[in-house]
Structure formats: C-alpha cells, structure tokens
Amino acid sequence: MINLKKIGLVTGGGDSPGINAAIRAVVRKAMSEGIEIMGFKNGWAGLLENDGRTLNRQDVSGILPVGGTMLGSSRTNPFSIEGGAEQVIENFNDNDLDAIIAIGGDDTLGVAHKLKDHGVKTIGIPQTIDNDLAETEYSIGFDSALTQVSKSLDRLHTTASSHHRVMILEVMGRDSGWIALLGGLAGGADVILVPEEPFDVSEIKKRIKEREAAGKFFSLVVIAEGAAPSELDQQITRDSGTDSFGHVKLGGIGHYLSDQLDAILNMPIRVTTLAYLQRGGEPTAFDRLLATRCGVSAVEFCIDGKNDVMTALKANRVQPVSMEKVISNSPKELEDHLLRMKDLFY
C-alpha cells in the first residue's frame, strides 16, 4: 500500500454509456480513502492545456444513469503534437499528481501506456462500445450499444415483415465486428456482416432467396461500418481526413450494399444507419455495475502501487491486466464459436 494524495482523471475517445458511472465510482472511492481526484476536461487535451479541477461529491451526484462523460472527451493524442507529451508530464508534476486514471479505448489507453516510459503512473479503465479492447471480456458501453442494436432490429423486424422488404442496419465497429455480431444475434438478424470477414454480395442474395423459399418474405441485415465486400477489398469512407490517431471516418457501407443488392435482387431494400443513437443515452444496469466495479478497482490498484495496468473483466471478476498486453493484442478477435452462430439463424 502506498500513501496517495492526488490522482488525475481523464476520459477520452468516442464516448459510451457508463463513463459517468465510472467517474462517480472513482471519485467516491478515492474520497473514502482521503485521496483527491482532479478531473481534466476533454481527454488528454485537458492535461495538455492544464484544464482540470478537483471533483467533489456534489460534482458526481446524479450522474450514475446519465450517458456521455461529464468531463468531456476528445481524440487528442499528445504524442502526435510537438512537445505534447512533455507538456502533459510537466502539468502532471506541477499538479502534484501521484497517478492518472484514464477511461477510454485503445487510443486513450495507448497514450496512458506510453506515459509510463516518462515516469507517469497510469491505470486504465476500458470503455468503448466497440468492445474491441483485448484482455477484457467486456468494455464499458458495449452492453448499452448492444441493447440499442437489438431494440432497433425488433422495430425493423415488424416493418420489414409488413412491407416484405430487406432492411439493412449499419452499426458502428471500425475494425471490429463485436457490435454487429452480438447485436445481430440478440436481434435475430438473418445476415450479419463484420469487418473481420469480407463479404460476397451473391452469398447474401442466396440467403435472402433461401428465406423466401421458406416462406419468409423479408430479411434483416446487420452490417458493421468497417465491413467490406471481397471484390472491393477496402472500407467505405465518408471523407479523406484522419483524426490524430490516424483513423479515417467510415460510413456508407449500408447504402453501398443496398445498391449492390438492388441490381441483383427483385425486392425493395431500405437502409437505416444507427450511428450515434447506439452510443448516446443511458447505460444499462450491466454497464453501470461494470463501470462502478472498474472505478472502485482502479483506485484500489493505485493504492496497491500498481502501474500500467487496466481494470479487466475476466470470469466475472475485475482484475488488473498489463496494458502492454491490452494494447498489443487489440483489436480483440471475435470469438470463433459466436462467429459461426451467425450462419445458423436465418
């Protein structure tokens, strides 16, 4: 056990439901141990600009069920800005911080991991609706996103069957098909397309036709934004720019697939893009609990003197895992057993 006085807290990357629950847990647990939490605004940007303040009990009151992050988020990468990392370290020292708790996905946690080499102690908390962080079974926000995907499929189901249409639902997932796969299975999708497996449009047509022959005159297709047809061998992007972590803006694969199918299928097709509706809003009970457990554990790990680890859910226990392992093994591979299930239900 080490005697800590002050811990910094940042939330970065695409937000997800449950971050606020984690912030609340960090603050409440730290307060109970006599440790001050300094919350920085907008991810790593807040540490770069020294935009932080002490969070007290009042600040985190009522935020448990609220989506987003009260601290704000950004995709700022101090390591891609000249002098950025040095500035973060200077502000870390000037504020007398003992450690930083970073809540985010692979980009945000990747920065935390790199800071270790500069003498900054960090603990990561996994949050991303994509669930693509390695070494943890669940990331905060994934369950809430899945709930939205499956609810959306339920709604598309009734209108698809009434109008005998093919409904395409485009969901998030840049390089990872966890949302499409598990959301699709939970919502009874007939076709599930993930970035990990290039798809063949004629195979999709075949499946829709098989359903027709079985008396099902509609089909539900879930497609991850990062999925790509084998003949194109590249993802569909919305513009050519990249963010500070080098990611392009994906989007439009649902409409691309619709056009391709339209040319070979004699059935009406409609496209729905779920976009930010799957990322905003209130967290599920599962995400609130996961966030609470991760927040409390993160402070405990700091007190135990742990460094460069992430709070991971393994066999329903929150455990410390090496950030090196998390970063080098992300995006997390889809579970083969689950992947095969997508070809069972149609």
Q: For the CB of residue 75, give the shortest distance to ligand F6P in the complex, in Å.
A: 6
Give yes or no for a contact between 208 and 232, defined as CB atoms under 8 angstroms apart: no
Residues composing the chain: 346
Catalytic pick from 130, 132, 143, 190? 130
Residue 251's φ and ψ, nearest 5 degrees, are: 150, 145
Residue nearest to ligand F6P (CB): 14
Give yes or no for a contact between 191 and 346, defined as CB atoms under 8 angstroms apart: yes
Q: Would you tell me how many other CB atoms lie within 10 Å of the CB of residue 36? A: 18
Residue 130 falls in the annotated catalytic set: yes
Q: Is residue 172 at the binding interface for ligand F6P, with CB under 6 A as the rule? A: yes
C-beta closer to ligand F6P: residue 91 or 139: 139
Structure tokens at 125: 């908390």
Give the contact letters, 8-47, x = binds to ligand F6P (CB under 6 A), - = no: -----xx---------------------------------
DSSP summary character for residue 5: -
Task: Provide the 3-class DSSP secondary structure of residue 227.
Answer: coil
166 - beta bridge partners?
219, 269
Q: For the CB of residue 344, give the shortest distance to ligand F6P in the complex, in Å.
A: 26
Q: Is residue 183 at the binding interface for ligand F6P, with CB under 6 A as the rule? A: no
- Taking the C-alpha atoms of residue 86 and residue 192, their distance in angstroms, rounded to an integer, is 45
C-beta closer to ligand F6P: residue 14 or 320: 14
Stretch that binds ligand F6P, among 52-60, 126-134, 200-208, 300-308 (CB under 6 A): 126-134
- The answer to whether the peptide bond before residue 331 is cis (omega within 30 degrees of 0) is yes
Task: Provide the 3-class DSSP secondary structure of residue 115.
Answer: helix
Q: How many residues bind ligand F6P (CB under 6 A)?
A: 12
Q: Which of 106, 107, 130, 135 binds ligand F6P (CB under 6 A)?
A: 130
C-beta closer to ligand F6P: residue 129 or 310: 129
C-beta closer to ligand F6P: residue 190 or 225: 225
Map the footprint of ligand F6P across residues 272-301, applying CB under 6 A. Answer: 279
C-beta closer to ligand F6P: residue 276 or 345: 276
Q: Is residue 128 at the binding interface for ligand F6P, with CB under 6 A as the rule? A: yes
Q: Which of 174, 209, 216, 325 binds ligand F6P (CB under 6 A)?
A: 174
Count CA atoms closer than 13 A to 237's CA, side-chain side: 10
Q: Is residue 103 at the binding interface for ligand F6P, with CB under 6 A as the rule? A: no
Contacts of 68 (CB under 8 A, 6+ apart): 15, 17, 19, 20, 280
C-beta closer to ligand F6P: residue 109 or 302: 109
Map the footprint of ligand F6P across residues 197-226, applying CB under 6 A. Answer: 225
DSSP string, 274-339: -GGGGTSSPPPHHHHHHHHHHHHHHHHHHHTT--SEEEEEETTEEEEEEHHHHHHHPSPPPPHHHH
CA 94 vs CA 57, 74, 87, 124, 275: distances in Å: 24, 23, 10, 22, 40
Q: Which of 35, 250, 261, 269 binds ligand F6P (CB under 6 A)?
A: 250
- Taking the C-alpha atoms of residue 286 and residue 16, their distance in angstroms, rounded to an integer, is 13
Stretch that binds ligand F6P, among 4-12, 53-61, 80-88, 168-176 (CB under 6 A): 168-176
Stretch that binds ligand F6P, among 45-53, 155-163, 167-175, 259-267 (CB under 6 A): 167-175
Give the contact letters, 132-151, x = binds to ligand F6P (CB under 6 A), - = no: --------------------
Q: Which of 43, 173, 183, 229 binds ligand F6P (CB under 6 A)?
A: 173
Active site residues: 130
Which residues sit at the interface with ligand F6P, rule CB under 6 A? 13-14, 105, 128-130, 172-174, 225, 250, 279
